[in-house]
Amino acid sequence: MVHMKKGELAPEEKELLEVIGKGTVQEAGTLLSSKNVRVNCLDENGMTPLMHAAYKGKLDMCRLLLRHGADVNCHQHEHGYTALMFAALSGNKDITWAMLEAGAETDVVNSVGRTAAQMAAFVGQHDCVTIINNFFPRERLDYYTKPQGLDKDPKLPPKLAGPLHKIITTTNLHPVKIVMLVNENPLLAEEAALSKCYKVMDLICEKCMKQRDMNEILAMKMHYISCIFQKCITFLKDGENKLDALIRSLLKGRASDGFPVYQEKIIRESIRKFPYCEATLLQQLVQSIAPVEIGSDPTAFSVLTQAITGQVGFVDVEFCTTCGEKGASKRCSVCKMVIYCDQTCQKTHWFTHKKICKNLKEVYEKQQLEAAKAKSHKENTDGKLDVSASRAYEEQPGAEVGVTQEACSAQGCVEGEKEPLGSEAALGSAPETPAGPQAAEE
C-alpha cells in the first residue's frame, strides 16, 4: 500500500470532495476516471472521499466510490474514525448497511476506544446500532454448507442456510418470535434440522469469542438463539402440540399478575449458560439481572435486547406483548393495557391474558380516573372550570362498574376483535400439556 500523506491533494481530488457534498454522481464519476484522482486520497484530517460521502448521507456517492475501489476500512482519520463510523453517526441506515455489505469491520475502534455501534448509540442513532450489531453476512453461514476438512457432509444442509440466516439477522430476540419463525418453516421445525442449526451457531459463537477482534455481542446472540433452538428440540420430542406448546409455556402468566415466569427463567438460564465466563458482556448481563426479583423490571429480555441491539429508551415505540415485535398498535379493547401486532398475536396470548384482563381493565380505569382528576384539578386551578368535564368525572365510577360487570359476563368485550373470544373457547378447552406452563412454575 502506498503511504499517502494527509492533505496533499491534487486539484481534481479537492474538486471531488466538493462534488461529493454539492455535486452530482455524474460529476463525481467523471472526476474518478481522471488519472489524477486517487479514490482513497486523504484530506488534511485523514478523511477519504468515502468518509465524506458517508458522513454527508450521500448513498449514491458511496456506491459510486465503492465501485471505484474505495477502501471501506481505511483507518487514517486523525481520530481513528472509519467510513462505517461516519455512516452510523449520520444516522443513515442505507449507508450503514452499504458499508457493512462492502466489508466494513465492526470492531475497529476510534482513538477513544469506541466502535461504530457505540458511537452511534452515543449520539442516539439506534437504528444504525441495530443494523451494525445484527449484521451477519450470509457468506459466513454459507461456509458451513460446504464440507470442511475431513467432513464428508457439510455441517449445515444448504437448504437450511436461508431460513437460519433469517433468524440470525432478526433484531427481535423475543423467544416467542424466534419459536414462531422456526414454527412457520417446515424445513426448520424438526429435530434433526434444529440440531444441525444450533451446533453451527455454537461454532459461530466460539469463533466470535476466539477471533482476534472478539465480538461478544454476536457470540451472545448466537448462543441465545442456540438455547432457544435446543428448547424447541425438547418440545418437539414430547407433547402433541409441540412448538405451539412451547409458545404457550413462554406466554403463560402467573396467577398474581400475569408475569410470564417461564419465559423469564428461560432467558436468564440461556444467559447464565454462556460458555465464556470471562466475557465482559456476560458479567454485565448477570450483574443487571441477578438482583432483580422475577416479575420486576428490568426483565431479562429487555436487558438482553438492550445489550445486543443497543436499543435504549424506546419510549415512544410499543412492543407486541406476545412476540416483542416493534411498532405494535392493536390494543386489547377491554383492558387497553396490552398491545399486539395483529389478531394472531392477540389470539395466541388470549389463553393467559383472559385471566387478568379484567384486573388490568380496573387498573386502566383507575389510571384514567386519576388522569381525569388531575386534569380537572388543573382546569380548576387554572380558573377555567369546565362543568361538563367535572360532571363526567363525578358520574364515572358508577358507570365503570357497570361496564366491568358486563365485561365479566358478556361475550362481546373484545371490540372489533371478536376472534380472540372465539378462540378463547377453543384455546381454553385445549388440554394443558404436561411439559407446559405448570412445569414452568416449579
Closest contact distance (angstroms) between CB of 320 and Zn ion is 3
Instruction: Name which position in 335, 339, 435, 440 contacts Zn ion (CB under 5 A).
Output: 335
Q: Report d(CA 215, CA 401) in Å as an integer.
A: 55
Closest contact distance (angstroms) between CB of 225 and Zn ion is 18
**Count of beta carbons in the 10 Å neighbourhood of residue 154:** 18
Q: Where are the alpha helices (DSSP H) in 116-215?
A: 116-122, 126-133, 138-142, 158-168, 175-183, 191-210
Binding track, positions 146-185, relative to Zn ion; x by CB under 5 A? ----------------------------------------
Q: Binders of Zn ion among 348-367, rule CB under 5 A?
A: 357
Nearest to 429 by CA among 376, 335, 321, 350: 350
Instruction: Name which position in 65, 193, 323, 440 contacts Zn ion (CB under 5 A).
Output: 323
Q: Contact between 92 and Zn ion (CB under 5 A)? A: no
Q: Residue for cell digits 464519476? A: 29
Q: Which is nearer to Zn ion, 47 or 341 (CB)?
A: 341
Q: Contact between 42 and Zn ion (CB under 5 A)? A: no
Q: Which is nearer to Zn ion, 38 or 361 (CB)?
A: 361
Please classify residue 277 by burial: count the beta carbons closer than 10 Å to its beta carbon, then call 0-12 exposed, 13-18 middle and 19+ buried. exposed
DSSP helix/strand/coil, 103: coil
Q: Contact between 70 and Zn ion (CB under 5 A)? A: no
**C-alpha angle 127/247/219, rounded to 5°?**
45
The one segment of 9-17, 72-80, 319-327, 431-439 that binds Zn ion by CB under 5 A? 319-327
HSE-up (13 A, CA, CB side) for residue 293: 2
The one segment of 6-14, 38-46, 327-335, 381-389 that binds Zn ion by CB under 5 A? 327-335
Residue 326's beta-bridge partner residues?
Answer: 319
Instruction: Name which position in 168, 180, 320, 413 contacts Zn ion (CB under 5 A).
Output: 320
Q: Residue for cell digits 450503514? A: 96
Q: Binders of Zn ion among 206-235, rule CB under 5 A?
A: none
Angle between helices 175-183 and 261-272 (to 10 degrees): 90
Q: Report d(CA 272, CA 341) in Å as an integer.
A: 30
Whether 142 contacts 155, CB under 8 Å: no
What is the phi/psi pair of residue 24, to 5°? -105, 165
DSSP helix/strand/coil, 126: helix
Contacts of 397 (CB under 8 A, 6+ apart): 369
Instruction: Name which position in 70, 132, 225, 332 contacts Zn ion (CB under 5 A).
Output: 332
Q: Contact between 325 and Zn ion (CB under 5 A)? A: yes
The one segment of 33-41, 198-206, 218-226, 322-330 that binds Zn ion by CB under 5 A? 322-330
The one segment of 259-267, 277-285, 291-299, 321-329 that binds Zn ion by CB under 5 A? 321-329
Closest contact distance (angstroms) between CB of 333 and Zn ion is 8
Closest contact distance (angstroms) between CB of 421 and Zn ion is 11
Q: How far is CA 426 from the centre of its chain?
A: 32
Q: Contact between 128 and Zn ion (CB under 5 A)? A: no
Q: Contact between 15 and Zn ion (CB under 5 A)? A: no
Closest contact distance (angstroms) between CB of 132 and Zn ion is 25
What is the phi/psi pair of residue 122, to 5°? -60, -35
The one segment of 60-68, 181-189, 291-299, 323-331 that binds Zn ion by CB under 5 A? 323-331
Q: Contact between 345 and Zn ion (CB under 5 A)? A: yes
Q: Contact between 322 and Zn ion (CB under 5 A)? A: yes
Number of residues binding to Zn ion, judged by CB under 5 A: 10
Q: Which is nearer to Zn ion, 56 or 330 (CB)?
A: 330
Closest contact distance (angstroms) between CB of 246 and Zn ion is 16
Q: Which is nearer to Zn ion, 127 or 325 (CB)?
A: 325
Q: Binders of Zn ion among 277-306, rule CB under 5 A?
A: none
Residue 196 corresponds to which cell in the numbers above? 444441525
Closest contact distance (angstroms) between CB of 175 and Zn ion is 13
Nearest to 123 by CA among 76, 73, 86, 94: 86
Task: Please give the DSSP secondary-structure letter assigned to residue 213.
Answer: S
Angle between helices 175-183 and 216-237 (to 10 degrees): 60
Q: Which is nearer to Zn ion, 324 or 436 (CB)?
A: 324
DSSP helix/strand/coil, 234: helix
Residue 319's beta-bridge partner residues?
Answer: 326
Q: Which is nearer to Zn ion, 54 or 414 (CB)?
A: 414
Q: Which is nearer to Zn ion, 13 or 325 (CB)?
A: 325
Closest contact distance (angstroms) between CB of 323 and Zn ion is 3
Closest contact distance (angstroms) between CB of 391 and Zn ion is 29
Q: Contact between 245 and Zn ion (CB under 5 A)? A: no
Task: Please give the DSSP secondary-structure letter assigned to residue 152.
Answer: S
Chain contacts with Zn ion (rule: CB under 5 A): 320, 322-323, 325, 332, 334-335, 341, 345, 357
